[in-house]
Amino acid sequence: MIELAAGGDLLQDADVQAQGAGKTITLRAVGDLVMADGTQVTSADANIALVAGGDLTVSLVDAGSAGVRASAANIIDGDDDTDIVAGSALLTATGAIGSDSDTLDLSVNTLTAKATTGGLFIAEANGLVIDAVSIAVDTVATTGVSSTGTATTQKTWSPAVRW
């Protein structure tokens, strides 16, 4: 399990990879979480969570057949390639997910997404199912002890969608 947390912005300039089955990844920032163009967050079929109090800029997040949870003020496409590869994705933004001029590029089987005050702009590579998604990632307490996190479930869908 990998968990990186920042009290301000988290700027990712190198790849983050968890090797071994079931090893989850959590990147968390109080401010913005920015993946530099070309960087990756990858797991061996284990869940990945990206949580930002500010904006989340995505390059490539690849959970294989597992799930990706992304939550931020705005979820921004950081490059021209596929942004999220996963069995399922749970996307939540208080603003927008993607933009009219730069969609968030997905290759997922099942999706739930909610953009509260902005639009939802996605491009899906292979077709998908819109359904409830539940994703749990392991956490590390301040004592250094790891535990299985509580699953986050979302059943809603934003009304303003552009495919």
**pLDDT tens per residue, range 72-117:** 999 999 988 999 999 999 999 999 999 999 999 999 999 989 898 9
Closest to 63 measured CA to CA, from 37, 39, 44, 40: 44
Residue 141 has pLDDT above 80, yes or no: no
- Domain assignment of residue 50, yes or no: yes
Check residue 73 and give its pLDDT: 98
- Domain assignment of residue 153, yes or no: no
Residue 25 CA neighbour count, 13 Å, CB half: 25
Check residue 12 and give its pLDDT: 96
- Domain assignment of residue 108, yes or no: yes
CA diameter of the chain: 45
- Domain assignment of residue 121, yes or no: yes
Task: Give the structural domain span for 67.
Answer: 2-144
Residue partners of 31: CB distance under 8 A and separation at least 6? 6, 8, 9, 10, 52, 53, 54
- Domain assignment of residue 162, yes or no: no
Pair 154, 93: CB distance under 8 Å = no
- Rounded-to-integer distance, Cα 23 and Cα 140, Å: 13
- Domain assignment of residue 149, yes or no: no
Domain count, the chain: 1
**pLDDT tens per residue, range 31-71:** 999 999 999 999 999 999 999 999 999 999 999 999 999 99
